[in-house]
């Protein structure tokens, strides 16, 4: 597989994941609207959307087409995950919320990995794009998102298992 083909697949996979992450973050932020957690999640959602735009900008800069099948598959997977979270609600709303926060945490961890991999590949990418995004800032933002999610996740875990 040529380097550009590999990068095309990699970016489109992460774009599909970002779409699912936005959907989940939107749901979580809406469910917690008006609470401290809701404000935290709204901030994380804004960051995820901004990161998604950067990622899509890279796709466009490289001249890659969006893989609509992957995007649709990601959307379907997120809907199935919602059904799983709804089933967990029977065990308690805190458990369902914990599982959703963990899913979002895994997505942001994947995004951190993406930025780190692109940073490692910067010498290869630079001639192709000409300009690469500020990957140090994107890495720092992902780490900040993880820290904020972790605080909420651990607080919810305590409530979920206190019963």
**What is the structure's pLDDT at 122?**
82
Mean pLDDT of 57-85: 65
Residue 69 has pLDDT above 60, yes or no: no
CA 10 vs CA 78, 115, 118, 137: distances in Å: 19, 11, 10, 20
Q: Which of 20-34, 65-79, 126-140 has the lowest mean pLDDT?
A: 65-79
CB 138 within 8 A of CB 51: yes
Q: State the alpha helices, DSSP H only, in 63-134.
A: 68-88, 93-120, 122-129
Residue 39 has pLDDT above 80, yes or no: yes
How far is it, in rounded angstroms, from Cα 138 to Cα 53?
A: 12
pLDDT at 111: 97
Task: Provide the whole-model pTM.
Answer: 0.83
- Residue 124 has what pLDDT? 73
Q: What is the pLDDT of the chain when averaged over all its residues?
A: 85
- Quote the pLDDT of residue 123: 79
- C-beta of residue 41 within 8 angstroms of C-beta of residue 29: yes
Residue 128 has pLDDT above 70, yes or no: no
Between 156 and 72, name the one with better pLDDT: 156
């Amino acid at each position: 597989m040529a380097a550009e083909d590999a990068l095309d697949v990699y970016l489109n996979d992460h774009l599909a994941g970002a779409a699912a992450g936005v959907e989940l973050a939107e749901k979580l932020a809406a469910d917690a609207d008006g609470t401290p957690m809701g404000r935290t999640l709204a901030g994380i959602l804004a960051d995820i959307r901004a990161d998604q735009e950067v990622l899509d900008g890279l796709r466009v800069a490289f001249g890659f087409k969006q893989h609509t099948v992957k995007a649709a598959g990601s959307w379907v997977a997120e809907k199935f995950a919602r059904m799983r979270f709804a089933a967990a609600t029977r065990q308690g709303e805190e458990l369902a919320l914990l599982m959703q926060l963990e899913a979002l945490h895994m997505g942001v961890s994947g995004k951190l990995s993406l930025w780190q991999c692109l940073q490692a590949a910067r010498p290869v990418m630079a001639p192709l794009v000409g300009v690469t995004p500020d990957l140090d800032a994107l890495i720092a933002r992902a780490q900040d998102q993880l820290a904020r999610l972790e605080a909420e996740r651990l607080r919810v875990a305590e409530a979920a298992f206190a019963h």
